[in-house]
Structure 1
Amino acid sequence: MIARPRPHLPMRPAWLCRNCAAPWPCGPAQLALAAEFYGHSIALAFYLAASMQEAIDDAYGLGLCPDLPALHARFLGWLSLARRSHR
């Protein structure tokens, strides 16, 4: 039996990757999301914005003060790179 690769999904409320423990969305999660939402970049942006809002809500729920610019960069900052055409 061949083991299937484990998906890189968020573990809440910490928003770390369940597979590699990096801040989610980690590199492999970004690649998977870009592939899953290929051709639907607006839907991907909405999904990530909603996930970012959930991460903010979870941080406040834990009594933390989230770093909003860092969360924006983490959840949405990589989108422009995913949309670039390959020459």
Structure 2
Amino acid sequence: MTRRRVEHLPSRPTWRCSACGIAWPCSPAKLRLLGEYRNDRTALLIYLATLKTEAAEHLVEFGGTLPNNLADRFIYWARAR
């Protein structure tokens, strides 16, 4: 029996994980992104900043208010330590 791989991707316009339902990027998504961009942290941060902007637009349009923690949620976790 083969297990189906579950992709932890953002579900637009809610920006919740399509696999586990929590705010995206969830922990599995963060691990995958860190692995994919392990040799180019700058590219990862640019990608996440682009997604943060898209998420902000969607969340305001569909929810009416902008969450205060978007930078923490999308960018700060990925900074070089």
The answer, yes or no, to whether TM exceeds 0.5 is yes
Look up the match of 2:50.
50
CA–CA distance in structure 2, aligned partners of residues 51 and 27 of structure 1: 16
Runs of 5+ consecutive residues of structure 1 not aligned to the other structure: none
- Poorly superposed stretches of 4+, deviation over 4 Å: none
CA–CA distance in structure 1, aligned partners of residues 44 and 64 of structure 2: 27
Runs of 5+ consecutive residues of structure 2 not aligned to the other structure: none
Look up the match of 1:76.
75
Q: CA RMSD in A?
A: 1.3
Aligned length: 81
CA–CA distance in structure 2, aligned partners of residues 9 and 34 of structure 1: 14
% identity of equivalent residues: 38
Look up the match of 2:26.
26
TM-score (norm 2): 0.91
CA–CA distance in structure 2, aligned partners of residues 72 and 63 of structure 1: 18
